[in-house]
Structure formats: C-alpha cells, structure tokens
Chain A
Amino acid sequence: MRTKKLVSIIVLVLIVLFAYFSYNTALSNFTLSDKTSSYLGGIKFHRAAAGLEEGFQIAQQENKPVLMYFWAIWCQYCARFQTDTLGNEQVKKILEEDYVLVSMDLDIDREVAQQYGVSYPPYLVFMDQKGNVLERVPGAVEASYLLPIVTKVRDDVRRK
C-alpha cells in the first residue's frame, strides 16, 4: 500500500509539472494570435475584420497593397506554408516592408472568408488600398511560386 501511494504521489507531481511547463511553453513560444494580431511564421499580422479595416487605412496612408492570409490551427499544410513559404527570407522581407498584412482565422472569421469566397486554408488574397482583389493564391504554394507574385503586386500598386 505504501509503495503504491508513493508511486502515485510521484506520478501526480510529474503530471502537474508537465502540465505547468507545457502550458507556459505554449504561451511564451507558440502564441499564434491575440486580440489584435497574429504571429504566423514569425511574421506579425493584423487580425480579423477590425484588423482589415485598420489595414486599409494604413495601406492608404503608406500606399501599400494589402495581403490577407486565411489559416486555421488544425491545418497541417498551413504550418509548413508559414515556415517555408511566408517565412522564406526574401518573401518575408518584401511582405514585412512593403505590405499591410492581415490574417483571418477560418475558425473565427468565417464571415470574411465567405465574403471573399475562401473555403479552405491556406489561402492568400492580394488587394489594393480600396479593397479590389488583385490576385488570389489558394493552397500551400512554394516560395519560388509566391515570390514573383508578391513582387508584381507590390510594383503594380506602387505604379498607380
């Protein structure tokens, strides 16, 4: 009986430690989005419908295109897309410097998704400051495919 109790207590302590540690690790390392922003692939996005409105304002002031990224936490391809494609050095640099970035969580921002005809993640929608859709990139494409599009949309918007 004593042995069992001892083992139980050790296991209980270990479980609590594990729970505490993994909880904090997730909070400090893997927060994907809070109320105003998302942090996907190491890039900061404005979030949700409010973020999109704000995004258009910033885009007008700074003369930048808007990129809207639809994702979901359960989407296996999104995780890879974020690290490999969006996180690609060249792509990331252009996105962070020349774009206003907005992210939409398909589990939450369903209305926006419906409005833009997006039914699955990952999905990119490129827009000008007025909200005209310039380009759509559905699916987990590779950086080599995305880079020319990212460059072209930026240049088109600048030229106008």
Chain B
Amino acid sequence: MIPFGDILLYAGLVISVIALVGLLLKDLKNIEILNRLVTPAIIAGAGILTFSYLLLTYYFVNSNFAYDYVWQYSSADLPLVYKISGTWAGQPGTYLLWTWVVYLSAAWLAWTTKHTTALARRTQMITLLTGMYLIVLTLVQTPFKLIIERPEVIELIAKGTLTADFVPLDGNGLNGLLVNFWMIVHPPLMFIGYATMTIPFAAAIIYLLTKAEGWEELSRQWARFTWLFLGMGIAVGGVWAYLVLGWGGFWAWDPVETASFIPWLTLTGFMHAAALYRKNKTTFSIAAPILSVVSFILVLYAAIVVRSGLFNSVHAFGETSTGTLLIVFIVIVSLVSIVLVMRRYFEESDKVEEDRGFWNKTNIFYVTLLLFVVLAFISFWGISFPAFIQLTQGLKVGVASDTKNFFNIWSYPFTIILLLALGFCLNYKEKEKEQQKKILFIVIGLSIITMFLRTENFYVLDHNSPFWVREPPLYKMIGNISVISIFPSLIYATWSTIQRLMDYLRIESIRPKIKGIGIATVHFGVVLILLGAIISSNFTQSIEGASIPLASKGNIVPIGNDYGIKLIDFSTRSLAETTNVPAEGVRISEIFASPEKYVSDNVKISGKVAKVVNVQSPPPVTYTSYLQINDGADSIWAATQAEAPMDFQEGMELTVDGFLMANFRSNSTDTTYPLLLFSRPDQIREGISSGKYNVQSVSLEVYQNDKKIGSGIAEYLESQSGSGTFPLVDSSITGTDVYVIFQGLGSGSVPLSLKIIPAVNFAWAGIILFAIGIILIMAMRSKG
C-alpha cells in the first residue's frame, strides 16, 4: 500500500502537469482551455504540498514510529519543539521542505502576476518543472517510508521475529548536536533560500531564451529574499558551530558549509550586476543573467555536496540514491544554460560601445563582479578537486597542510581588492573622479606597504601552528603577509560607506533615502564581519585540558596564564518532554493509583527531593533519612538507613530503587506512612540519568589575575545518538567572549577548555546589519 503522504506527492505531480499543459497551450497555440485552471491548480498544488508537510509534522508530534523517518530522527521523550524540528533533521524531510517552498513560491508568483505576461507564464513553467523534479526526488527518498520497509526489519519479519504490523515503541532519537535552538532555525533558513532561488533562475533562463523585458524586475525581490535567507542560514550555521563544539570556531571551511557559501557569493555578484543593469539595460546584459543562473546551479551543487557521498564532510549524509538524480539535474541545467548564454553572447558581441577608458563606474563594478566570481571559484575549487581526485584516481588529498590555510591564503588578497573596489564604487562621483582615484592609489599603496610589516604573529597563516612548516613555498609566501594590510582597505571602505550614507541622508524623498540607508547598512556589515573574523581568529587565546576537581567547589583553581576557574555548581538533568514524566522508573501517581500492583515489591522512581527528615536511632547508632520525592506530579516518601550521617539536600535529583511497604509506622518521626519506599544507600543515585537526553551542567566563574572576567553555565549533552557540548559563552561590551567548553564529567573532575575570543561579536553585529539593511532595501521596493 502506498502511504498517504506519498499519494499527496503524486497528486501534487498530477496537478502540476495540468498547470504546465495549460501554460504551454496558452503560450504555443494561444489556446485558453486550461488557462483559467492554471492559477487555481498551482495554488492547489501548493496547498497539497503544505498539507503533506503538515502531515509529516503531525507524525513527528505524535511520535508515529511506523514511519522510518520519524523513527530515525525522533523519540517519544523529546520536547515538542525538537519533535517539530526533527522533520528537517534528515535528507528526506529537507527534500520535502525544499519542494514545499518551491511550490509556495510558484503560488505566490501565480497570485501576484496572474500570468498576464508571457514572461510570467514562462517563468512559471520553469519553476513548475523544477518543482516537479524535486517532487520526484522526494518520492525516491520519501520521508513517508514505513519502518516495515527497512531491509533489516523485512528480514526479521520473514524470520517471524517481528510481526508484519511492527511499530517500534520508541524512536532512535535526535542527534545530541542537533538538540539546540540554532539547529531548529538553520535548516529552514537554508532550504527556503535554496527554494526561492528558483524564481530568479527561471526568469533569467527565459530572458536568455527570449530576451524578454522585465525579467530583472520580476526576480528583484526574490533575489533579495534569497540573499537574506541563504545568508542568514549560513550565519546561523556559524553561530551553531560556535556554540556547539566540534568545529573549532564559527567557520571551518568544511565542504558543506563552504558549498552553501558559494551560491551566496555569486548571488551577491548578481545583485551588484542587477543594480547597474536596471539603470541601463545594455550594462551587464549578459553578466547579470549568467550570475543568476550560476547561483541556482551552485545551489544544486551544494545539495550534491551533501548528498553524493563524494565529499568528506562532518555533515555529509552519506551516499544516497538521489545523488545521481541531482547530478543529472545539474548537468541538464548547466548544458541548457551554456548553450543559451553562448547564443546570447554572439548575438550581442557585435554591438559597438564607446570605450571610456578603464576608470568608470561600470568597469569597477565589473571588477567587483569578477571578484565575487573569483572568490566563489576559490571556494568551489577547494572543495571540488579533492573529490575529483578521489573519484578519478582513488587518492585522498588535502588541499593544504591544514585545510583552512588553503582558503584563507587564496581568499585574502581578493578580499582586500574587493574592499578597495567597495571603497571606490560606493562613493563614486563622476565629477570628483580624479580626486577619488588619488585616494584609491594612496590606499592601495598603504595596503601593499603594510603587507610587509613584521609583527609577533599577525599573519595570514599562523606561524606557530605545526602546519605552517609543512606548507609549500608559495603558500608560505602569501601566509607571510601581515594582516595589518587589511586595515587600510577596511578603513577606506568604512569612510566611503559613511560618505555615501551622508549623501543618502541629504535626500529629501523618503523612499530612496531609506533604501540608501539600507545599502550603507549592508556595506557597513561587511566591514564589521571581516573585522570580527580576522581579529577573533588571530588573537584567540586558549588553554586546553584544564581539569577542575569537583572537591574544589567554591575555590579558584589556577589553570595557567594567570587564568583561574571557580566551580560554583555541578548538576545533571534530563531533557524530558514534560516535568511530570520521570526519566526513569514508574510515575508516582501510578503507584498511588494502583498500589496493589507495587506494594511488597521492588519499585524504581525518580524525582526531586522536596523534604528531608533526618533521625538518629538509639545505640547501636544508625541514621535514617526520610526523603519526600516529587516527580512533578506527585510525591512519595522514601527512607534509607546507614551507619554514618547522610547528606541529602532539598532540591537534589535522585533515582531511588527500593522495596515498597504499605502503612509503615515510624516511631522516630511519629508518622504512619501509607506508602514508603525502603532503599539502601547504594540504591539511591544522584541524577536522573537514564533518560535519552541527559544534560550535565556546570556553573562556573572565570578569573584573570583574581579578577572575575566571566561566568555562566557550560553543558554537556549525552544521548543515544551522539553527544554535544554547549559551551559557556560570556560576552562583554568590548566584544570579547569568554568561552569555556565542558566535555563531560570524568572521574570526579570537570574537564574544561578556556578560550578568550576577542572581537567575535563584531561579526555577529555585522550579520545583523546585513539583515536589517536588506530588509530596508526590500521594504522600499522601487517600481520599474
């Protein structure tokens, strides 16, 4: 039987075919028969996809483990929000998300354009084709696959070990690294960005094909929207990498993160090209559509990087059946695009333009576009050729002695040139050109001179790193450039942005003014991000392998370099869905509901200590502690005896194993307990630890020369499917972060690593400016 979710997807496919045929009939033969159906059909298609995504979410929320995908990425005790985010934790779900948003985009396009122009109709056709291809991909790797279709389950059913309607009691659980707020938002941002890229691509293809006017207007807001979502997706991925250890910082040039950065770069290039194209339709009339098409192709490429199994990344999903289908898709799209671009190029190349020399705005903008392409290519090449070598020669190669060195040395010089171009272009005025050229030359001169400055260790590559000595001569040469050389161009870019902002502020009419402020904001964001990235990666101090004994709680323990750490508290908790479900044992309410089932038997409960009564019995002296344990819904008394006083505190979380007695009379406390759990001290364990997601957390204070510089909580999460660390991050106004990683308790001491990371907050501020700026620009949409 076909699962209901898949039926929905097939229905989406059928309805898209109807819409597509309607559009084609209208376009080719001007037959109106189906034309009136097109818009409703597309909106219905979007509705069906929406429904199927909600259905998947419903399965997750209800923990319906009959579905393989739900079983794989969820479990019953996960908090609701992680059950929902589980829908985009794996490949099948992200395909569905991607498809869904493409259909939403198609519906929006249908709704806003009503398909009144040929351009809108044709753009819609390409969008629908893309959407249909994605539905097929989703179906191949469907999230609605049943668990009984799993090979190992089929085997067990054949053997008779499992029944044919087998449903697991609990899920496999979400990977510990994904149990984090930033991981809830990262995938949707990325995939919304991937999906909305379809419209600018479709419009550009139609322009290349038919020379249709208005393609840039049509794709303008879509491109901005994509730029925002893709950019924020990448940024949030960085925040996540920074806050969850394993990647060492916010950017590690891992193939997958790099792959999503590449289309963002070319899209940025497109937006610059489009800015000039819309003023003069002959400028960048080929470069602009190429950049749009290339950005879409690179989005597909990013999907391949994650799914083909060829790229060795920390978050590759492994080899999958859809990898090949994606490669087919990208090959088709690329070939079509190349043919169309060539045709357009030869058509337009005979146009003669007057040559105004090198120094004009168009040319400098063109250099800017090329710089985006070059930067994109460096990243593309760096992740691609090792995969190519592996595929063709069976060799595994690294790109440099240390992977990030490759990307850093090659990108650095072009980043400086890009900043110089920014400084020159943003404030370009035809009348003051000569003056501005002079300033540019001075800045270029300063940049070159400062490259040779010698510093302690402020170079493109870290000279103290063990990898430094093993880099080849050319890499060392670039690695020897002093990073001070970034500052002249950074200051120049800042100055230029401020100048431009001043000009914008003088504008009377409100819309261009706000849009101008948006443009200045985005460019100021660039400066901040680069500043934050460079300072933080060069001046981070780190002390690794510090170990604080639990016994030294409350005292400052020196860990070297004048730093010290004071352990305030250590605690454990379980990440259960609600507080009244104990992570372990029986619910107390259940014991009270049917005591006959539990009395005179061994029972295990867990909860918080609500009350402690300590009593001493006469000689031979024994100490008894009566503990009231509360699991959030109900409470029960437990008692334990020892020959030495015991130290139970209110608020402790305990798991208690014991023997349940009814109507127990205690003379020492003068109470009759209707139910009392008798337990030996060794049957009482601190912490509620056998839940699926256990969090160890330490509360710390960090000192430098006995002065407190930071405090907070560092956590370590353990789960069946992997562990995660959530470091303490304490930011100060100066932009410096105190950053402590806790790697889980080991033999009575707390293993910690301390990092002092300066200026990283500038980068976050820059990213926020990016978002604010582009939203201002989008809000002040200019017509035509």
A residues lining the B interface (CB < 8 Å): 1-4, 7-8, 11, 14-15, 18-19, 21-23, 25-27, 29-35, 38, 72-76, 79-80, 83-84, 87, 105, 107, 142
Contacts and interface: CB of A to CB of B under 8 A. Distances in A.
Given A73-B312, A83-B470, 19 more contacts: A7-B366, A8-B370, A15-B377, A23-B389, A26-B389, A26-B399, A29-B470, A30-B397, A30-B399, A32-B395, A33-B396, A34-B395, A76-B247, A76-B248, A76-B252, A79-B402, A79-B467, A83-B466, A87-B466
Interface in B225-242: none
B374 interface: yes
23 contacts: A1-B351, A3-B357, A4-B363, A7-B367, A11-B374, A15-B374, A15-B377, A19-B381, A19-B385, A22-B382, A22-B399, A26-B386, A26-B397, A26-B398, A26-B400, A27-B389, A33-B395, A34-B396, A35-B394, A74-B255, A74-B312, A75-B314, A83-B467
Given A18-B378, A22-B381, A74-B313, A32 B367 contact: no
B538 to A, nearest CB: 17
A107 B248 CA distance: 20
Contacts of B373: 11
Interface in B353-390: 353, 355, 357-358, 363, 366-367, 370, 373-374, 377-378, 381-382, 385-386, 389
B410 interface: yes
A119 to B, nearest CB: 8
Contacts of A26: 385-386, 389, 397-400
Nearest to B351: A1
Most chain B beta-carbon contacts within 10 A, residue among A19, A23, A76: A76
B584 interface: no
B26 to A, nearest CB: 39
B401 interface: yes
Interface in B454-474: 466-467, 470, 472, 474
Which of B248, B398, B406, B475: most chain A CB closer than 10 A? B398
B254 interface: yes
B433 to A, nearest CB: 15
Contacts of A74: 254-255, 312-314, 403
B395 A1 contact: no
A91 to B, nearest CB: 14
A113 to B, nearest CB: 13
Contacts of A107: 312, 316
B352 interface: yes
Contacts of A38: 396
A33 B355 CA distance: 53
Contact of B397 (A7, A15, A18, A27): A27
Contacts of A22: 381-382, 385, 399, 406, 410
Nearest to B545: A142
Contacts of B316: 107
Nearest to A14: B374
Nearest to A142: B545
A59 B289 CA distance: 62
A1 B353 contact: yes
Contacts of B355: 1-3
Contacts of B374: 11, 14-15
A1 B377 contact: no
Nearest to A47: B396
Contacts of B357: 3
B312 A31 contact: no
A106 B434 CA distance: 59
Contacts of B395: 27, 31-34
A148 B358 CA distance: 67
Contacts of B254: 74
Interface in B256-290: none
B398 A73 contact: yes
Contacts of B399: 22, 26, 30
A127 B400 CA distance: 32
A74 B241 CA distance: 14
A125 to B, nearest CB: 20
Given A3-B355, A72-B312, A32 B366 contact: no
A121 to B, nearest CB: 10
A35 B403 CA distance: 22
Interface string B188-224: 0000000000000000000000000000000000000
B363 A32 contact: no
B527 to A, nearest CB: 25
Contacts of A72: 312, 314
Given A30-B400, A107-B312, A11 B370 contact: yes
A80 B466 CA distance: 8
B398 A32 contact: yes
A73 B472 contact: no
Interface in B401-422: 401-403, 406, 410
Contacts of A4: 363, 366
Contacts of B382: 22
Contacts of B352: 1
Contacts of A25: 472, 474-475
A35 B396 CA distance: 9
B257 to A, nearest CB: 11
A22 to B, nearest CB: 7
Could you say which of A30, A31, A38 has the most chain B C-beta atoms within 10 Å of its C-beta?
A30
10 closest A-B pairs by CB: A30-B398, A83-B466, A26-B397, A33-B396, A32-B396, A73-B312, A1-B353, A107-B312, A74-B314, A11-B370
Nearest to B410: A18
A25 B472 CA distance: 8
A21 B400 CA distance: 12
A38 B396 CA distance: 9
The residue among B357, B373, B399 with the most chain A CB atoms within 10 A of its own CB is B399
A3 B314 CA distance: 44
A22 B384 CA distance: 12
A83 B312 CA distance: 20
Contacts of B351: 1
B514 to A, nearest CB: 33
Contacts of B312: 72-74, 107
B238 to A, nearest CB: 15
Nearest to A10: B370
Interface string B518-531: 00000000000000
A67 B645 CA distance: 50
Interface in B551-608: none
Nearest to A21: B474
Contacts of A29: 401, 470, 472
A27 to B, nearest CB: 6
Q: Please indicate which of the listed interface residues B396, B410, B474 has the most CB atoms of chain A within 10 Å of its own CB.
A: B396
A2 B363 CA distance: 11
